[in-house]
Amino acid sequence: MTHSHTDRGHPTRSVYARRPDSVQNPLPTATAVDTAKILAEVELPTISKGPIIRRPRMVAAVENLGLEARAVARLQTAAEKYGRGPLMLGLPGRKMSMVLDPEHVHRILEESPEPFATAETLKRHALKHFEPQVALISHGAERARRRETNEKLLDHNQPIHRMAEQFMPAVREEAQVLLKQIDDAGGTLDYSNYFKAWFRVVNRVVLGDSYRDDTELLELMETQRARGNWAFLRPVDTEARDEIHSRIDQAVAKAEPGSIAAFMSQMEASGDFETSRDEDVQQIPQWLFAFDPAGMASYRGLALLASHPDRLEAARHQIEEEAQADVPLLPLLRATVLESLRLWATTPMILRETTQEVEFEHGVMPQGTTVLIFAPFFHRDEKNLDFAHQFSPEVWDHERTREEWPLVPFSAGPGLCPGRHLVLLLTSNFMAQIVGQRNIDLLSHELEPGRLPALLNNFSLKFHLSAR
């Protein structure tokens, strides 16, 4: 240890021996002009589309103006100018940083929730409108027990959920209803019809068959999610929030066979949870929320298959091979959903917040910094990925490792979405019912296989389905 001496001869620690902090060794900071460009070209389009529930008109505007591609290009420029970062943004009164290096993506997600908390401030303000006790915005012991509840209920490490056989009738029956509706309407499939059918599946799987047509809960959720788009700028409608929780609590108490609500009720009765009943109920709104972008991803996945006939035929071959299975695995359709999420991220901005100062190669990040990981920057960076703008389901043939470029459709590390396998199970089997029984042609867009667009507006996508 290096020492200096005061005039009285007592040793004191030299300032040079202290570990540098964020003031003495700051991370690179963007200029005011570059900060404004990043906010305008990356943050603003992401927020305008709707971080909690999509605004269809704004999604159309971002698609038509090519703003998603501009956002990726802006961060490519920032990385070239400022290096590995992370790059602090020059915002007065607010600490915010943009991640520019793939190694840092791995590190930040692996080191969540400490020192990179999932309970980031803006996220907490957004989600408190309908799920203030959800694991995603909890920290410490509360997060640990709520996360464990989610993992148990969603079978987070199992590609085939333990209740999958009980889920399959809902998937097959609702797909058949949808196909009949399409046939009666002259063969046209639009997102509105697809979304309604998809959420009939979701309601039956999560809450029970009698909730199939419960549009009131869906509308309540959508209203509260719309308020969540404004985070702390809108007051919480506690009455509506309580109504959501009350309806879900009733479903858990009803415990309809074959539903996750029944599974939750059974596990509560057996004492498998450390969480309270109120905490358990507040995990379910997050699942209903997450199944919305899952529907978007699978619908866009149909567009990928329709524009890649060879992949479509390969998927049909797998469907036929697994036709007798109680629960088909359908790896190519699962990979198609993953590719849809990579190409057109439904969670474009992954948020973390530092719980302490964190040292990086080029400086120290202050405590209380909002950390921004813009997934499209890493998913669509043609300078580092030769498949950046192509449909490449083969990249998902194996579990991706830390050494590989970060592709994070469901996040990663301890904050990895615990429902990812359930989402892939339900979406792949729902898609199989459609492409396995009908020819499918894309009506509304022309997708160039070698150069897929930076954003695909699911709300305007239309298909023509015909008998095979």
Question: How many Å apart are CA 68 and CA 110, to the nearest integer?
Answer: 27
| Phi, psi dihedrals of residue 268, rounded to the nearest 5° | -65, -45
Assess whether the previous peptide bond of 86 is cis (omega < 30° from 0): yes
Torsion sign, CA atoms 268, 169, 177, 300: positive
Which residue has 């609500």 as its token pair?
A: 261
DSSP string, 302-345: HHHHHT-HHHHHHHHHHHHHTTT-SS---HHHHHHHHHHHHHT-
Tokens matching residue 199:
């959420």
Number of residues assigned to the chain: 468
- Pairing assessment for the beta strands 363-365 and 358-360 based on DSSP bridges: antiparallel
Long-range Cβ contacts of 307-312 (<8 Å, 24+ apart): 307/391, 307/442, 307/447, 307/449, 308/391, 308/449, 311/336, 311/391, 311/393, 312/435, 312/440
Q: For residues 394 and 334, what is the distance between their CA atoms, to the nearest angstrom?
A: 11
Contact at 8 Å (CB) between 456 and 445?
Answer: yes
Q: Are 43 and 65 in contact (CB under 8 A)?
A: no
Read off the DSSP letter of residue 41.
Answer: I
DSSP one-letter code for 206: H
Using only C-alpha atoms, what is the Rg of the chain?
Answer: 24
Q: Which tokens hold the place of 142?
A: 């509360």
Neighbours of 347 (CB within 10 A): 17
d(CA 366, CA 47): 24
For residue 67, with 0-12 CB atoms within 10 Å meaning exposed, 13-18 middle and 19 or more buried, which class applies? Answer: buried
3-state secondary structure of 97: strand
Judge whether 104 is annotated as a binding position. no
- Closest to 210 in 3D by CA, of 249, 257, 177: 257
Give buried/exposed letters for 179-193 (b at 16+ CB in 10 A, else e): beebeeeebebbbee
Residues contributing to the annotated binding site for heme: 417
